[in-house]
């Protein structure tokens, strides 16, 4: 299993989108058959390793790194415990982008942010603040994301029309280039007010 670390790194980075066998083979510069063999070996290793909480899921030629199903109750306890109640700045930023640009793909979110977003998108999906909203009709058919009713409830909105216009943000919420600093969006202000109550 010469490519174990590389495969895991690629699958981790691709997040909920997963990665196509052909694309992965190109990135690793190996044949599809060699990659399939490595993937099957890694799937077996992870499945049978009691010290690993991860497995590889496969749907046709798309592979994803996911948590083992038997850990579902532990993860549910985590999300219900309140430890995950506060949203990170990255989560607030991604929510802002999705709210204003939906439906939008992960790659488009990454382009706006300039950093990779798949891990935070997974967290927002689990917390039911965003959802899959179909697939974009382009090669690879990437998932489109949109906000949920839970998102509206979380921020006390009746509908998306209640989102403030970008022009309404204060000058203090703009960065040195005059761009909206999403870290100081309405969502963070609401989050701070909620934590101060």
DSSP β-bridge partners for residue 145? 104, 132
* Res 12 pLDDT > 80: yes
Name the pTM for this structure.
0.51
What's the average model confidence in pLDDT over 48-66? 91
Q: What's the rounded Cα separation, in Å, for the pair 92 and 23?
A: 31
Q: What is the pLDDT of residue 179?
A: 46
Cα torsion angle, 167, 108, 54, 131, sign: positive
Q: What is the pLDDT of residue 168?
A: 64
Q: Is 83 helix (H, G, I), strand (E, B) or coil?
A: coil
Residue-wise pLDDT for 68-105, tens only, equals 989 888 877 776 665 555 778 888 899 999 999 999 99
63: confidence class by pLDDT, cuts 50, 70, 90? very high
Rg over CA atoms, the chain: 19
Give the domains, in start order, of the chain with CATH numbers.
4-70 (1.10.10.10), 85-196 (1.10.10.10)
């Amino acid at each position: 299993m010469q490519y174990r670390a590389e495969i895991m790194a690629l699958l981790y980075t691709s997040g909920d989108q997963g990665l196509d066998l052909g694309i992965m083979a190109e990135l690793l510069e190996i044949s599809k058959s060699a990659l399939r063999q490595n993937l099957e070996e890694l799937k077996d290793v992870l499945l049978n390793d009691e010290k690993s909480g991860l497995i590889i899921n496969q749907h046709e030629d798309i592979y994803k790194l996911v948590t083992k199903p038997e850990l579902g109750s532990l993860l549910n306890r985590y999300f219900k415990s309140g430890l995950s109640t506060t949203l990170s700045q990255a989560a607030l930023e991604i929510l802002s982008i999705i709210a204003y640009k939906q439906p939008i793909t992960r790659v488009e979110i990454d382009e706006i942010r300039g950093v990779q977003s798949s891990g935070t998108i997974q967290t927002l999906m689990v917390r039911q603040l965003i959802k899959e909203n179909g697939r974009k009709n382009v090669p690879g058919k990437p998932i489109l994301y949109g906000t949920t009713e839970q998102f509206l409830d979380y921020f006390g909105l009746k509908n998306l029309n209640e989102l403030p216009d970008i022009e309404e943000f204060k000058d203090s919420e703009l960065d040195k280039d005059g761009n909206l600093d999403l870290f100081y969006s309405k969502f963070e202000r609401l989050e701070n007010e909620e934590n101060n109550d």
